[in-house]
Amino acid sequence: MARFPETSSSSRERARQSVTLQDIAAHAGVSRSTVSLVLRDSPLVADATRTRVQASIKALGYVYNRGAAALRASRTFTLGVVVYDIANPFFGAMVAGIDSVLHRENYVSFLANSEDSPERQQRFLERMREQRVDGLLLCPAEGTDPALLTQLVDWNMPCVQVLRHIGTPPFDYASTDFELGVRQAVDHLVTLGHRRIVFLGGDARHSATQARHRGYHEAMRAHSLDDVHRVIRGAVTRRAGFDAVQHLMQESPRPTAVICHNDLMALGVMLGLQRLGLVPGEDCAVVGTDDIEEAALSMPALTSVATHPYAIGEEAARLAMRRIANPDGAREQVVLTPRLQVRHSCAPIPTPEKTSYRRYPHATLDA
């Protein structure tokens, strides 16, 4: 692979060896240091020199060696990003948001999919330390030991938690107010006349699930519906939604509305209702969370709490940039406000004098 040096190790003579600062310096008639300053856009160098050096860089086809730079400098302009399920479209959108910000900032990111395994996550984080990334964006895997946070502090590694969080404040965090989101959903349903409202999903002990449950309980209490409040724990997949609703609808009196941990579940619930010969939205109102693209497409179109994954990704990345620029600044929590996207999956409870006026909502792609 590496060619045997022909006679001497004179930098001029090496065949296709890589071009270094030294070579540029010789070509432009300046010192290594000056070239280095030009590469880093330092204001110290005179314009004429800068132009000349840049010409030499282009002429010799120089390639900056980030490894060498990293060895001496404190920053690497790299970041580590950990999500637990990249196949979930929610995270796809979030990563797109992260990427857009990092691109503007000349940063580049390592991505890992922890599959909700703390061990796998830990291994990746250690690798990131070896790579000397400037910081981390972390959606902590289910069951992550809160001690991880102090470990990262020991490592002197900036970390922005995203969506979920472990440990206790202060820490950097970017997410959506899931609690508020669920409250909005309950309020909406109550306004439509619903009372027997079930919250579906969320086995996990992590913060994002807890916040949803808290929002549900509080909203139900605020409407004096403590007696009918009901949380069904379990997985948060399409299949789980499909199955859960089968059981739910056999009860009597049966719920008139379900709020789901995420949209995938909600879509599963709607399918489950159809399987039972029921009309989603009419026979049982359904609200999802996230407002993924598919929500607008379902029949009927799904009412969902929009959590704006792309924006969360952007905010998280921006917060990381701030923290890297100012490592000792006060920790920040950027919590976006969700918005209830009302579509057609929640009909009002028919009152005696008012019959269901619309048997099937219109198909639409709007909103």
Nearer to its own copies, 123 or 221 (CB): 123
Residues 6+ apart with CB under 8 A from 238: 264, 265, 267, 268, 271
Work out whether strand 159-162 and strand 172-176 pair parallel, antiparallel, or are unpaired: parallel
The reply to whether 36 sits near DNA by the rule CB under 7 A is yes
Q: Do 161 and 334 touch, CB atoms closer than 8 A? A: no
State the binding partner of 158 from DNA, its own copies, none, CB within 5 to 8 A by kind. Answer: none
- Over the window 216 to 255, marking each residue x when it contacts DNA by CB under 7 A and - when it does not, the resulting string is ----------------------------------------
Q: Do 134 and 127 touch, CB atoms closer than 8 A? A: no
Q: Distances in Å between the alpha carbon of 337 and those of 90, 177, 181, 184?
A: 17, 6, 8, 11
Distance of CA 31 to the CA centre of its chain: 45
The DSSP-derived string for 124-181 is: HHHHHHHHT-SEEEE-PPTT--THHHHHHHHHT--EEEESS--S-SS-EEEEE-HHHH
Provide the 8-state DSSP code for 100.
H
**Candidate residues 9, 10, 252, 355; the one interacting with DNA per rule CB under 7 A:** 9
Nearer to DNA, 48 or 87 (CB): 48
Nearer to DNA, 63 or 153 (CB): 63
Nearer to DNA, 156 or 252 (CB): 156
**Candidate residues 46, 87, 330, 365; the one interacting with DNA per rule CB under 7 A:** 46
**Candidate residues 49, 54, 237, 274; the one interacting with DNA per rule CB under 7 A:** 49
- Binding range to DNA, per CB under 7 A, among 23-31, 98-106, 211-219, 354-362: 23-31
The residues of the shown chain that bind its own copies, judged by CB under 8 A, are 1-2, 63-68, 70-71, 74, 76, 78, 81, 85-89, 91-93, 95-96, 99-100, 103, 108-113, 120, 124, 127-132, 238-239, 242, 267-268, 271-272, 274-275, 293-294, 297-299, 310, 362-365
The reply to whether 10 sits near DNA by the rule CB under 7 A is no
- Binding range to DNA, per CB under 7 A, among 39-47, 188-196, 242-250, 350-358: 39-47
- 195: helix, strand or coil: coil
Here the tokens at position 213 are 């449950």
Work out whether strand 339-341 and strand 303-306 pair parallel, antiparallel, or are unpaired: antiparallel
Work out whether strand 172-176 and strand 135-138 pair parallel, antiparallel, or are unpaired: unpaired
Nearer to DNA, 126 or 293 (CB): 126
**Candidate residues 68, 153, 222, 363; the one interacting with DNA per rule CB under 7 A:** 68
The reply to whether 54 sits near DNA by the rule CB under 7 A is no
Q: Do 331 and 170 touch, CB atoms closer than 8 A? A: yes
State the binding partner of 117 from its own copies, DNA, none, CB within 5 to 8 A by kind. Answer: none
- Binding range to DNA, per CB under 7 A, among 61-69, 114-122, 142-150, 272-280: 61-69
CA angle 115, 209, 142 (to 5 degrees): 25
The reply to whether 21 sits near DNA by the rule CB under 7 A is yes
Placement of tokens 């999802």 in the chain: 288
Judged by the rule CB under 7 A, the positions of this chain that interact with DNA are 2, 9, 17-18, 20-22, 29-34, 36-37, 39-40, 43-46, 48-49, 62-65, 68-69, 71-74
